[in-house]
Amino acid sequence: MLYFSKREQLILISVVVIILLISLFNFLKKDKEDTAHTDIIIEDYFSELKETEEDDSEEAHEIMVHISGQVYNPGVVVLESGARLIDAVNLAGGLKKDADLDKINLAKKLSDEEKIYIPKIGEEYVEVTESGGSKDSSGKIDINTCSKEELLALPGIGEVLADRIIDYREKSKFKSIEDIMNVSGIGKGRFEDIKDLIIVR
């Protein structure tokens, strides 16, 4: 059986305690470094997330509208989402004295990429649509310039009749809306159904 003197026992205990303290210190240091590293990663993540949300928020809250006609500074204006026509008019320098207020709605809510035209008093306002046809301010379509899609939207006008209308106007423009009855297949009854929806210019 091994026998240690009191001095040797104290030395042995001291060595064991020192080893335990060193091990504990290294463990705590490593844990602290891992925690700090984790905190940095979390902070970076939330920082990037916040920047992305701010960018998306700015993009979602801005719209661009093209305004022309009877305003002092026509062109593209940048507005907050949910802005009204009056806001675009103000950014465009205001309305000219000849602007026809009866043909516009200053309270209208605007959308991104919208084109707004302010007509002059006495001017017959014609809105050009994306499909290449035309509508006046009352929503009627010009049978001399409208697209086939617009013709198909008229009651009782199908593919065949739409093609016949286009063929007819390519040879001779309609001089009045009644001339549409010269197209084969369009009689008085069908004309009555569409006469309030069409115009001729």
> In sequence order, what DSSP letters do the residues of 59-71 get, joined into one string?
HHTEEEEEEEESB
Predicted pLDDT of residue 105: 86
99 shares a domain with 27: no
Q: Which spans in 73-187 are helix H?
A: 85-91, 148-152, 159-171
- Answer yes or no: is pLDDT of 128 > 50: no
Render pLDDT for 45-99 as a digit per residue (tens, 0 to 9).
Answer: 556 656 655 555 444 578 888 888 889 998 889 998 888 999 999 999 999 998 8
Nearest alpha carbon to residue 110 among 138, 91, 129, 133: 91
- Answer yes or no: is pLDDT of 120 > 70: yes
37 shares a domain with 76: no
115 shares a domain with 157: no
Predicted pLDDT of residue 17: 78
**Least trusted range by pLDDT, from 2-16, 43-57, 115-129, 180-194:** 43-57
187 shares a domain with 177: yes
CATH of residue 101: 3.10.20
Average pLDDT over residues 26-47: 57
The total number of structural domains in the chain stands at 3
155 shares a domain with 100: no
CA distance 67 to 64: 10
More confident residue, 38 or 77: 77
Predicted pLDDT of residue 52: 58
* CA terminus-to-terminus distance, the chain: 122
- Answer yes or no: is pLDDT of 138 > 90: no
Q: What percent of the chain has pLDDT over 90?
A: 25
Average pLDDT over residues 22-26: 76
- Answer yes or no: is pLDDT of 117 > 60: yes
Are 51 and 33 in contact by the 8 Å Cβ rule? The answer is no
CA distance 61 to 78: 10
Average pLDDT, the chain: 78
Chosen domain end from 84, 100, 123: 123
145 shares a domain with 117: no
More confident residue, 139 or 107: 107
Predicted pLDDT of residue 186: 93
- Answer yes or no: is pLDDT of 41 > 60: no
* Domain of residue 100, residue span: 61-123
CA distance 122 to 23: 93
Predicted pLDDT of residue 131: 41
Chosen domain end from 123, 152, 168: 123
Chosen domain end from 123, 152, 167: 123
Average pLDDT over residues 140-151: 88
- Answer yes or no: is pLDDT of 113 > 60: yes
**Which is it for the CA torsion 131, 137, 138, 141, positive or negative?**
negative
